Amino acid sequence: MSIQGELQDLTDRPGDPNRLEELDLAEEGARRSLAAVRTHIATLRERQHDLRQAAGEAGEKLSFARKQLDEVRVSIADRKEQRARLDVESAELTVRLESVAEALRRDVDASEEQALAAPPPDLEDGVDRRDRLASIEAELRRMGTINPLAAEEYQDLEARRSHLQEQLDDLESSRNELRKVITALDDEIVGMFRAAFDEVATAYEQHFDVLFPGGRGRLVLTDPDNISTTGVDIEAQPLGKKVGRLTLLSGGERSLAALAFLFAVFKARPSPFYIVDEVEAALDDANLRRFLRLVDEFRRTAQLVIVTHQQQTMEAADILYGVTMEPGGSSKVVAKRMVESPVTLPAS
């Protein structure tokens, strides 16, 4: 049942007169209580408004008081700093006073009272005492202290200066000689480098022609006018290709160009034997045969030790060296002579 229905039901019921009177009295009392509560609430709200207003005024006074406190603190800090400076100046003046008194007793054997009672010196008209005192003090400073051993010290210093001057002259002479030696060495190095470069460049062109039939390869100085700082560029152009950098060549072609330069150095500066390790690993069969022809030219005047896994290189060798391990045994070096005379490689 809804609330409205319950109210309607209560209205329809017959009421007790005494009960109704009690309810009226209770209602009247409730209304008076409600009016008193509302009055009290209004009073409290007015009091709250007054308190808020008073709190705002107190906050403003507190902010102003804090500002004044900060100003007073700053003023106190300034006064403390000023007092510290005055204490320092007072200590300095005390030290100066003691120093002046000590100087009077040491220099003229007089006390402070005697110095103050002494008559002032006679000065010309128009001469200020302070200016005259400053002039005398400047003269004393320029004179300095009197050293009775100055002559002996001067002789000692003069002898030392002469000795150091002789050493300096020797160093200058040595430096000039070293410069001459350096210049001669530079000239010798430049000449040796130029001769070696010409030999290597000539051998490089020959070997490049062997490794790249019909191709063109050469060594070029980057700065021919300054041999001591120049670099070396390696040019390699196989037949039918026009490339400006070695990086544009294939892996096998770069290996052949490097081998041409390496063996050019070998030829320019020969040695009884050479050791190379897996230098032909990136070569195909055709390029490998060209490499072996180049090796065949060197084997006539020197011994070559080649570390390799290529079968053709092994077939072209005079002696094979390897390491083997038998079952249950330790590793050992095995040598096998292939032929009694060098192998003649077929033309490709």
Shared-domain flag, residues 198 and 228: yes
Average model confidence (pLDDT) across the chain? 81
Residue 82 counted as domain residue: no
> What residue has token string 């003649």?
344
CB contact at 8 A, 245 and 233: no
Considering 98-102, 137-141, 162-166, the range whose residues carry the highest mean pLDDT is: 162-166
Higher pLDDT, 50 or 241: 50
Nearest to 288 by CA among 341, 209, 216, 211: 211
Q: Which phi and psi (to 5°) does residue 267 adopt?
A: -70, -40
Question: Can you list the positions of beta strands (E) in 45-170?
Answer: none
Shared-domain flag, residues 247 and 283: no
Report whether pLDDT(3) > 60: no
Average pLDDT over residues 150-167: 89
Question: For strand 303-307 and strand 273-277, is the pairing parallel, antiparallel, or unpaired?
Answer: parallel
- Helix orientation angle between 251-268 and 285-298, rounded to the nearest 10 degrees: 0
| CA–CA distance, 134 with 249 (Å, rounded to integer) | 89
Q: Retrieve residue 34's tokens.
A: 């409600």
* CATH number of the domain that residue 334 is part of: 3.40.50.300
Higher pLDDT, 250 or 194: 194
288-317 per-position pLDDT tens digit: 888 888 888 888 888 888 888 888 888 888
Domain limit, last residue, from 225, 254, 283: 254
Residue 201 counted as domain residue: yes
Domain limit, last residue, from 221, 254, 287: 254
Residue 19 counted as domain residue: no
Report whether pLDDT(199) > 80: yes
Structural domain count of the chain: 2
Domain enclosing residue 235, as ranges: 159-254
CB contact at 8 A, 274 and 305: yes
Question: For strand 232-237 and strand 273-277, is the pairing parallel, antiparallel, or unpaired?
Answer: unpaired
Helix or strand holding residue 186 (H, E): helix 150-211
Report whether pLDDT(342) > 50: no
Average pLDDT over residues 244-258: 77
The predicted model scores a pTM of 0.46
Distances (CA, A) of 229 to 225, 240, 348: 9, 34, 42
| CA–CA distance, 74 with 314 (Å, rounded to integer) | 97
131-153 per-position pLDDT tens digit: 877 888 888 788 777 676 778 88
User: Which range is least confidently modeled, 5-19, 159-173, 258-272?
Assistant: 5-19
Domain limit, last residue, from 230, 254, 278: 254
Residue 313 counted as domain residue: yes
